[in-house]
Amino acid sequence: MPRTILLASDHAAIELKAALADWLRGEGHEVRDLGPETADRVDYPDYGYKLGQAVAADGAAAGIALCGSGIGISIAVNRIAGCRCALVNEPVSAALAREHNDANVLAMGARLVGIDMAKACVAAFLATPFGGGRHAPRVEKLSSPPV
């Protein structure tokens, strides 16, 4: 089923972002590229925050966050309330992030995964629904951490 997919990266992942955007459009998804537009050096927190805010505001959109390792941008996205960003390197983790954690943003490192593995991760992420049930109370706790 086609979805709205929001993408953001830093300079290290601009080529992977472009390849994923083209592939996702070919799969029938609406893709919104939140930047950057060039390979000039940028700071991943700026784009992680931008993506997180857009995903949180939309509610139905899925996000894909990319940087060199995936670590920095995933940390930035997870600082935004309403975002559950999972850093993955293979499709099983991508599916489990959706099924068990109701992740709404997928993060990957362009220096760690190739385009075929990235596509497999995104496909698993988009195809897997949240399992609910015993996972729902745990996910709820992610939205209201202890003070």
Q: State the residue range of the domain holding 105.
A: 4-143
Blockwise average pLDDT, block size 10, the chain, 147 residues: 94 98 97 96 98 95 97 98 97 98 98 98 97 92 81
Predicted local confidence at residue 144, as pLDDT: 80
pTM of the model: 0.95
Find out whether 48 is annotated in a ligand binding site: no
Predicted local confidence at residue 11, as pLDDT: 97
Predicted local confidence at residue 147, as pLDDT: 74
User: 99, 131 in Cβ contact below 8 A?
Assistant: yes
CATH number for position 54: 3.40.1400.10
83 labelled catalytic: no
Find out whether 68 is annotated in a ligand binding site: yes
Count of domains observed in the chain: 1
Q: Where are the alpha helices (DSSP H) in the chain?
A: 14-26, 44-58, 71-78, 91-101, 115-127, 136-143
67 labelled catalytic: yes
Predicted local confidence at residue 10, as pLDDT: 98
